[in-house]
Structure 1
């Protein structure tokens, strides 16, 4: 029980040091992750965790504190995964690259790419191809395999931590 409390404290407090020193680069990566649809995927994953936990541990008076924690923890969990992804992007892309990538996802084509590809017209598809033919677009293509591997590892670690904390809340709470 004591180890769990120490682990929970570390999980909750360590990221404070990261966010207190947020740079423009970090902020721009985080904005990019919002615009390119990445964070929607993590929000969905958090929702799936909540559903799984509710099927195992239906809400009751006895576990109300655990449920309150999980419900209030989502914003922090999203910030945690962003903090895990920033160094991955920093390894592969310059600040200017990130700005160009974010700018693309703010265009109509970028928005449709993340929301409803079926609505993309021939013009949108041409704009997408033009973007991928830029230096930044080619960098994305060339780094896709390494990025996918690193992001997958970060995602697995994030999911494992969330699951462990969730189980600890209900089994030790």
Structure 2
């Protein structure tokens, strides 16, 4: 009976702990992707595709439903690419490293690095150098090639699917 209780505990409690940790780790990666500018780039890519599609398939009564879908689908499409990128970061960094990376990009120096590098002061540049000379910064640099390759694959698939969906919804309208 005691063994049954231990097994029961393991089957119920242990997976919940691991799922909660994984969920926290996933959320930390998602937070990092928001803070480092990645998601703004995907949002821009989505918007640019819609501009291109509108040039090819102007809004009309015939394609009204397709356009409505694409406009409403934007948050889901962005969530999809974010979810596709989470495993890439989880495979290459620890949760603690991801938190450190997000913290840097939320700092004044990190925000300016993404938004307007011309406004970076010498102090900001020193903070940037300090970050990239840290263990986490060095790991980012060492993983750059792997990250670029893996993220490119995921991004290309996402872009291709989005383009094909857009075409199929709008060209028949």
Aligned to 2:115: 115
> What is the match of residue 98 of structure 1?
98
SS at match of 2:63: helix
Equivalent residues, number? 153
Per-residue CA distance 1:93-118 (angstroms, 9 max, x = gap) = 00000000001111100010010000
2:145 paired with 1:142: no
Q: Using structure 1 for the length normalisation, give the TM-score.
A: 0.86
Q: Match of 2:39?
A: 39
State the Cα deviation string for residues 74-103 of structure 1 (Å, max 9, x = none). Answer: 000000000110010011000000000001
Say which SS state the counterpart of residue 113 (structure 2) adopts.
helix
Counterpart residue number, 1:5 = none
Measure how far apart 1:171 and its partner are: 3.3
Residue of structure 1 in register with 2:162 after alignment = 162
Q: Is the 8 A contact 2:85 2:154 kept in 1?
A: yes
Q: CA deviation at 1:51?
A: 0.7
Q: Distance in 2 between matches of 1:28 and 1:46?
A: 23
Q: Which has the larger radius of gyration?
A: 2
Within a 5 Å distance, the mapping from 1:1-173 to structure 2 comes to 23-172=23-172
Find the counterpart in structure 1 of residue 12 from structure 2: none
Q: Is the 8 A contact 2:57 2:171 kept in 1?
A: no
> Conserved in 1, the CA contact under 8 Å of 2:37 and 2:114?
yes
CA RMSD, Structure 1 to Structure 2 (Å):
1.3
Secondary structure of 1:58's match? coil
- Residue-by-residue CA offset, 1:41-68 (whole Å, 9 max, x unaligned): 1011001110111011100111110000
CA contact (8 A) 2:63 2:172 kept: no
Unaligned ranges ≥5, structure 1 = 1-21
In structure 2, the partner of 1:7 is: none
